[in-house]
Amino acid sequence: MVETQQSNKEELMAATPLLRARGISKYFGAVQALVDVDLEVDAHEVVALVGDNAAGKSTLARVIAGVHAPDEGTLEIDGEQVRTFTTRAARANGVATVFQELALAENLDVTANIFLGQELPDRGLLDEEAMETLARGYLKDLNARIPSPRTPVAHLTAGQRQCVAIARTLVGKPRIIVLDEPTSSLSVAQTAEVLTHIEQLRSMGLGVVIISHNLTDIRAVADRIEVLRHGRNNGSFIAAETAYEDIIAAITGAPRTSRRLA
């Protein structure tokens, strides 16, 4: 009896996704940026959000990040409905976001950038040595190719900067990380590095939402692919089982040739 209750509870918990957005709509005047959009992300999962320009990807990222409150719909984190849409509340709920503008300080080193403006609760300002040790740990967790936590950001490649921006989110011990176009301005080699960081986040148990235009990247790293088109869900795919053409068809609205999931 006790065992049954336990397993029921486990099943219930397993059925609750880390992040669940349901029926999200967001309007900017006459522009319907998002209409009745659903999205679910589990721990240990990378979900790619794809779609053409103006499909609503960044708007959905901003709703999850607490930048925008949705006009309709609900957002749940670990089954708890989010009622306050501020970036502070989102961070407190374990949501971290890396926007396209990384906002790094060129003149500061990697460690200083990771801790810029972030005091750890209860401990106040950390001393330099402790910050450097933590920074080194984050870089190691991400499998970073950065020479030293004391390297000035001005000396880093665009891919390494993206890594610093991701490492910066780890200070708050997030459960969900949203990355808006993290590879859009990167070379092939730098893109591969960032994809490695994303795989590391997944193996650390985080839920990851990656927005990208690059379907090759997406199919390399994502578990699931969610397509937005004109602000609406337009297909949900298991990355490993889906042909490139089917994703393109969902993005562009062309007729699909093979089976669509969900």
Ligand X SMILES: Nc1ncnc2c1ncn2[C@@H]1O[C@H](COP(=O)(O)OP(=O)(O)O)[C@@H](O)[C@H]1O
Could you tell me the sign of the dihedral formed by the alpha carbons of 99, 101, 105, 106, in that order? positive
Q: Find residue 120's DSSP bridge partners.
A: 124
Q: How far is the CB of 176 from Mg ion (least distance, A)?
A: 18
Contact flag: residue 58 with Mg ion (CB under 5 A): yes
Q: How far is the CB of 31 from ligand X (least distance, A)?
A: 5
Contact flag: residue 169 with Mg ion (CB under 5 A): no
Q: Which residue is nearest to Mg ion (CB)?
A: 58
Is the separation of the CB atoms in 202 and 79 below 8 Å?
Answer: no
Q: Is 38 exposed, middle or buried (0-12, 13-18, 19+ CB in 10 A)?
A: middle
Q: Which does 53 bind (CB under 5 to 8 A by kind): Mg ion, ligand X, none?
A: ligand X
Q: Where does this chain bind ligand X (CB under 6 A)?
A: 28, 31, 33, 51, 53-59
The stretch near Mg ion (CB under 5 A) out of 55-63, 82-90, 109-117, 143-151 is 55-63
Q: Which does 191 bind (CB under 5 to 8 A by kind): ligand X, Mg ion, none?
A: none
Contact flag: residue 212 with Mg ion (CB under 5 A): no
Q: What share of the chain is helix, strand, coil (3-state, %, to 5)?
A: 40, 25, 35
Contact flag: residue 183 with Mg ion (CB under 5 A): no
Which lies closer to ligand X via its Cβ, residue 26 or residue 136? 26
Name residues whose C-beta falls within 8 Å of residue 181's C-beta, 6 or more positions apart in sequence: 100, 211, 212, 213
Is the separation of the CB atoms in 85 and 68 below 8 Å?
Answer: yes
